[in-house]
Amino acid sequence: MNHIKEIHAADFVAVVQSGVSTQKLQEAVEKRGLFYPPDPASRADNFIGGNVATNAGGPRCLKYGVTRDYVLGLEVVLADGAILHVGGRTHKNKTGFDLTRLFVGSEGLLGVVTEVTLKLIPLPPFRATLAAGFDSMKSAVCALQKILAGGFIPSALELADAFTLAAAAKHTGNNRLGICRAYLIVELDGQRKSIHSELPAVERVIRRHKPLFVERGCGNDECEKIWQIRREFSDALRATGLMKLNEDIVVPRGKLEELFKFTAKLQKKHNLPIACFGHAGDGNIHTNVMVDFNQPRARQRADAALDELFRQVLAWGGAITGEHGIGLAKKRWWPLAVSKKVRKLHSTIKTALDPKGILNPGKFV
Amino acid sequence: MNHIKEIHAADFVAVVQSGVSTQKLQEAVEKRGLFYPPDPASRADNFIGGNVATNAGGPRCLKYGVTRDYVLGLEVVLADGAILHVGGRTHKNKTGFDLTRLFVGSEGLLGVVTEVTLKLIPLPPFRATLAAGFDSMKSAVCALQKILAGGFIPSALELADAFTLAAAAKHTGNNRLGICRAYLIVELDGQRKSIHSELPAVERVIRRHKPLFVERGCGNDECEKIWQIRREFSDALRATGLMKLNEDIVVPRGKLEELFKFTAKLQKKHNLPIACFGHAGDGNIHTNVMVDFNQPRARQRADAALDELFRQVLAWGGAITGEHGIGLAKKRWWPLAVSKKVRKLHSTIKTALDPKGILNPGKFV
């Protein structure tokens, strides 16, 4: 189940079994000058099958889209044991209903994915990264919005808040992070000459918002050094000794600043740190409620904070999950997130495909 | 039903009723520095609702994806009269099954779409177009493949064959087209400085394949002049006086040259011109079987040619439709295009959502 069956450079297609790790696939296709963009942070430890089940994202999804956008075809075992092949290997396909994408993100509730045909694209020849510290989240968000307004679509636009940065400074010894209230990472990719002219243009936009510092990385090695810091955020938060309840809410992009203001209030009200970082370009922020379960009523306070957060996100037209799914962890908020009619349609489809309810039972549907 | 309800620049979202024309939406968002990429050729005469029903494409889909990739949320009237809201207005959303994309491309068989929430992206500040004539399709296809292999993702990569070009030369008076056996259009968009450096790089790739001529267009006005020729192709074919049976097959990208060879053979065998042009970058070629219905057994010969074409496309791992759908016209080939199990799953879903079969009856399911 962990075999890359085919990488076809002219068709721009890979066929992989569902147990192939995302990183293994990416490394294999990049050797051939090809690119599989979706990049969940845990790409070394997760698998294409799981990526399909959750419609996994990652930083690069801002420019390149999520797992869904790369699935051309699937082999799926249905509840009755039938082996189904949906989609195909063409980059466009309008043959019937979009069954492929009905299975993508269905969290194992409609079938078991055993093989995936993926779209590949040409590997961008060059990349460059900017990382900037700010003394306010407002400035960082404003810089982010001005970059997009300038017609740039970076391959990543990530933000981190003060709590995350303090933890990262302590964990990594990078003291500069500790003085910031916000940290913005912008990555550009494409042709080398283009990136060399776009990088200073984006840096000028950032500098207009008075950053405390700006770091530049050109080419893979320098970029990876900056991303190494970003990848430490989760470990740094865990190293605080607090339990990290990692949510993945999404707000409409224009609500980013309000989201950070709201979580700041929420922290005070419930006396719990909330560490926010993530894919700000998509409005998709990992909001980590940090809990010390030795403290009185810790679970209740965390739940109350999450409940308030989710209600506010939904009131803004946001979503309670951008890349993790509902599963068990968010089952409680499922009736809040979607209408009764939408839940009914989920049941209709689930019952039609899995009448005995044997696939991943007990989850949100 | 033809009202643009909202264009939100900070959220990068538009909310439109299904009767809004694609061109009207595009012009409205572009005034605000925003971009809605899907661009079916008939964008002045078609509507967002129809685009959603067929998951419409167009030249720019190579870089930017199809209609599906821009639909964030839908208002749908179900068969039982219930008004359902699926999805939302965030650029990422993993709340439950992907019901939004179950309705996209469902050709009106599962519900009636009345309102659509669309993702917008930043408008690229600049565009440039290259058009090159070749004395063989092989050279044109090879140039196309080398552009992609160079890590370029053009916003369009279109090809046209000799029959199409001869008709276009006659129809438009552009005699240069008539001497070519193939014509390649490449469009690049992005930051002005980047495009100014990428354009000559792409032109160098093209010139290595010995084009008869290369035309350059920089900026909207010059690009539109080149695209005006491309947009005349359908009218030029109709002006031949022959009936144009427009198919929209897709082949895996590596099979492009074989496809053109195959249609050349097919023309001779069935004594019918087949005019091919379209979105070659996606492998999605409009294969127009040109029929004179005054000739003996014209219908039978056309049907036989189509049947052979579709069988060969499927044998290559291709699809019989990339952007038009099955509907009535391809209903005959539906059982050939997908397995019995896939057809059964279509029926299961159709029955679950529309048990009385009142939505768009008589179509392929």
| pLDDT value, residue B342 | 98
Contact in structure between A246 and A288 (CB atoms under 8 Å): yes
Output the pTM of the full model. Answer: 0.97
| Separation CA A276–CA A237 (nearest Å) | 10
Residues in chain B with CB shorter than 8 Å from the CB of A95 are: 319-321, 326, 337-338
- Between positions 206 and 245 of B, the ones with CB within 8 A of A are none
A310: contact with B, CB 8 A cutoff: no
| pLDDT value, residue B298 | 93
A123: contact with B, CB 8 A cutoff: yes
Contact state of A10 with B145 under an 8 Å Cβ cutoff: yes
3-state helix, strand, coil in chain A (%, to 5): 40, 25, 35
Tokens for B77, please give them.
Answer: 């009237």
Contact state of A93 with B194 under an 8 Å Cβ cutoff: no
Residues in chain B with CB shorter than 8 Å from the CB of A13 are: 252
Contact state of A346 with B284 under an 8 Å Cβ cutoff: no
Contact state of B122 with A150 under an 8 Å Cβ cutoff: yes
What one-character-per-residue DSSP string does A34-45 give? EE-----TTTTT
Residue with tokens 């709340």: B95
| pLDDT value, residue A44 | 83
The minimum CA-CA distance between A55 and chain B, rounded to whole Å, is 7
| Separation CA B235–CA B227 (nearest Å) | 14
Question: Which secondary structure element, helix H or strand E, spans residue A222, and what is its range?
Answer: helix A219-238
| Separation CA A350–CA A333 (nearest Å) | 19
pLDDT < 50: residue spans in chain B:
none
| pLDDT value, residue A209 | 98
pLDDT in tens, A38-78: 999 888 889 999 999 999 999 999 999 999 999 999 999 99
φ, ψ for residue A69, nearest 5 deg: -75, -5
Choose among A317, A361, A360, A362: nearest CA to A337.
A317
CB under 8 Å to A74, separation ≥6 — which residues?
A52, A84, A85, A86, A87, A100, A103, A104, A113, A115, A116, A117
| pLDDT value, residue B44 | 83
Contact state of A255 with B11 under an 8 Å Cβ cutoff: yes
Collapsing DSSP to helix, strand or coil, A85 comes out as strand
CB under 8 Å to A134, separation ≥6 — which residues?
A140, A143, A180, A181, A182, A183, A184, A209, A210, A211, A212
Contact state of A201 with B190 under an 8 Å Cβ cutoff: no
A159: contact with B, CB 8 A cutoff: no
Tokens for A85, please give them.
Answer: 């092949």
Residue of A nearest to B324 (CA): A94
Name the percent of chain B lying above pLDDT 70.
100
Amino acid letter, A227: W
Tokens for A259, please give them.
Answer: 């989201």
Q: Which of B321, B342, B352 minimises the CB distance to A348?
A: B352
φ, ψ for residue B120, nearest 5 deg: -115, 160
The minimum CA-CA distance between B170 and chain A, rounded to whole Å, is 32
Question: Which secondary structure element, helix H or strand E, spans residue A144, and what is its range?
Answer: helix A137-149
Residues in chain A with CB shorter than 8 Å from the CB of B193 are: 194, 197-198, 201
Taking one residue from A and the other from B, the number of pairs with CB-CB distance under 8 angstroms is: 287
Tokens for A180, please give them.
Answer: 């910031």
The minimum CA-CA distance between B255 and chain A, rounded to whole Å, is 8
Tell me which of A158, A345, A349 to substitute to probe the interface with B (most B C-beta atoms closer than 10 Å): A345
Contact state of A93 with B319 under an 8 Å Cβ cutoff: yes
Contact in structure between B213 and B133 (CB atoms under 8 Å): yes
Contact state of A92 with B318 under an 8 Å Cβ cutoff: no
| Separation CA B101–CA B110 (nearest Å) | 12
| Separation CA B17–CA B223 (nearest Å) | 30
B340: contact with A, CB 8 A cutoff: no
HSE at residue B45, side-chain half, CA atoms within 13 A, is 2
A358: contact with B, CB 8 A cutoff: no
- Between positions 246 and 285 of B, the ones with CB within 8 A of A are 248, 250-255, 279, 282-284
| pLDDT value, residue B208 | 98
B335: contact with A, CB 8 A cutoff: no
| pLDDT value, residue B42 | 82
Tell me which of B67, B68, B93, B120 to substitute to probe the interface with A (most A C-beta atoms closer than 10 Å): B93
| Separation CA A211–CA A188 (nearest Å) | 19
The minimum CA-CA distance between B172 and chain A, rounded to whole Å, is 31
Contact in structure between B289 and B355 (CB atoms under 8 Å): no
Tokens for B310, please give them.
Answer: 């579709």
Tell me which of B63, B94, B101, B332 to substitute to probe the interface with A (most A C-beta atoms closer than 10 Å): B94
Q: How far is CA B135 from the centre of its chain?
A: 25
Burial of B320 (0-12, 13-18, 19+ CB in 10 A): buried
Q: Within 10 Å of residue B96's Cβ, how many Cβ atoms? A: 25
| pLDDT value, residue A116 | 98
Contact state of A85 with B337 under an 8 Å Cβ cutoff: no
| Separation CA A365–CA B319 (nearest Å) | 33
**Overall residue count recorded for chain A in this entry:** 365
| Separation CA B41–CA A263 (nearest Å) | 46
**Overall residue count recorded for chain B in this entry:** 365
Instruction: Please list, residue by residue across A11-29, b when 16 or more beta carbons sit within 10 angstroms of its beta carbon and e when fewer do.
Output: bbbbbbbbebbbebbbebb
Contact in structure between A8 and B252 (CB atoms under 8 Å): yes
| Separation CA A94–CA B324 (nearest Å) | 7
| Separation CA B343–CA B296 (nearest Å) | 36
The minimum CA-CA distance between A339 and chain B, rounded to whole Å, is 8
Among left, alpha and beta (phi > 0; psi -120 to 50; other), residue B108 is left
Instruction: Please list, residue by residue across B152-191, b when 16 or more beta carbons sit within 10 angstroms of its beta carbon and e when fewer do.
Output: bbbbbbbbbbbbbbbbbbebbeeeebeebbbbbbbbbbbb
| Separation CA B72–CA B11 (nearest Å) | 12
The minimum CA-CA distance between B103 and chain A, rounded to whole Å, is 8
Contact state of B353 with A345 under an 8 Å Cβ cutoff: yes
| Separation CA A90–CA A77 (nearest Å) | 22
CB under 8 Å to A113, separation ≥6 — which residues?
A18, A49, A52, A53, A74, A75, A76, A103
Q: Which of A82, A279, A345 minimises the CB distance to B84?
A: A345
| Separation CA B251–CA A90 (nearest Å) | 6
pLDDT < 50: residue spans in chain A:
none
| Separation CA A275–CA A246 (nearest Å) | 9
| Separation CA A69–CA A91 (nearest Å) | 10
| Angle CA B290–B294–B297, to nearest 5 | 80
